[in-house]
Amino acid sequence: MTWANTAILSAAILGVVAIIDSHLLSKRMPSFRAYLLPVGIIHLIYSLICFSLFSFPEDIGIMPVVATVVSSILRAGAVYIMLYSLMVEEVSRVVPVISTYPIFVGIMAMPLLGESLHYLEWLAIIIIVVGAIMISAQQSPSGTTTWSVKPLLFFFGSSLLFALADISSKYALGYVSFWNMFTVSEFCMSGIFLLPSIRLQSLRQLNYMKQRNSAIGLLTFNEILSPIGILLSIWALQRGPVSLVSTIVSSRPMFVVIFAFILSRISPGFLNWNPGKGRLGLRLIATAMIVGGITIIQLM
């Protein structure tokens, strides 16, 4: 499997993860901290298992280790912001704007990593990013298309963290394996999730929540999918140009819209998602743009 196909598979899996995260946070979990607690424990278990199985290279220098840790902390911070946003905003608005980070990656990769892109590859990045922003557009009752400024700035903050994480990951992956990167990433994510959530109140909320077993079961399933998607993206990042891998992985909004549309037909109450006729047409156009941008990259 090529790095491009791996990145597409990662985007599709992470699209499913975003859908389930949105459902759990908006419909099932009693609070954000109560959600973070079991998720953090699961990721801690993953990291401890991987630490026991995959050791770092013996001759590695200090800078690759620092880059590995920094990239993992940045990625965990970006995921934290994204999850919090999913609790208060519609998933098909949050994920597209956060997925604009390839434009930051493309700009930073040239001076920092020495990557250069063909003009068609830059065109593909711009098409995909614009398509992602279009998917996040809101439509007012009068029919005009709008974007809320404050949430956008919040989402772009997460997007910038993802970009910085990819840049530092690409540097570190020249010295460590993708398993090493995944291990540290899981450990940092568990720490950032557990620090604010280890509270007696969180345990009580989990203990007394409605339909607890089914919710925790769905959460566990989602946290099996999530590491697979992350691992595939790191594998692709190690083998392909960081600008293009980030761009393809950022096509996740296309899968989110597709999955959300299907769920709105077979299980209308699963998500807080009401595209409306105008928005649905705009999102179909945006999805076509994302597909076109990925096609350009695949053909290069």
| Residue 246: closest CA among 82, 132, 146, 106 | 106
**Cβ count within 10 A of residue 87:** 16
Could you tell me which of 29, 32, 70, 68 has the C-alpha nearest to residue 193? Answer: 32
Q: Is the pLDDT of residue 272 over 70?
A: no
pLDDT of 265 reads: 82
What are the pLDDT digits (tens) for 188-241?
999 999 999 999 999 999 988 888 889 999 999 999 999 999 999 999 999 998
pLDDT confidence of residue 274: 59
Domain housing 274: 3-299
pLDDT of residue 227: 93
- State the DSSP H helix or E strand holding residue 139, giving kind and residue range, or none if neither: strand 138-139
Q: How far apart are CA 211 and CA 29, in angstroms?
A: 10
Question: According to the model, what pLDDT value does residue 136 have?
Answer: 61
What pTM did the predictor assign?
A: 0.83
Q: Sign of torsion, CA 223 254 270 81? A: positive
H or E element in which residue 146 lies: strand 145-146
Report residue 139's pLDDT band, with 50, 70 and 90 as the boundaries: low
Phi and psi at residue 146, in whole multiples of 5°? Answer: -135, 160
Highest mean predicted confidence (pLDDT) among 49-53, 124-128, 246-250, 265-269: 49-53
Total domain count, the chain: 1
Position 204 scores a pLDDT of 92
Higher pLDDT, 265 or 45: 45
Determine the pLDDT at residue 282. Answer: 72
pLDDT in tens, 62-110: 999 999 999 999 999 999 988 888 777 777 677 777 877 877 888 888 7
Give the torsion sign (CA, 113, 116, 117, 122): positive
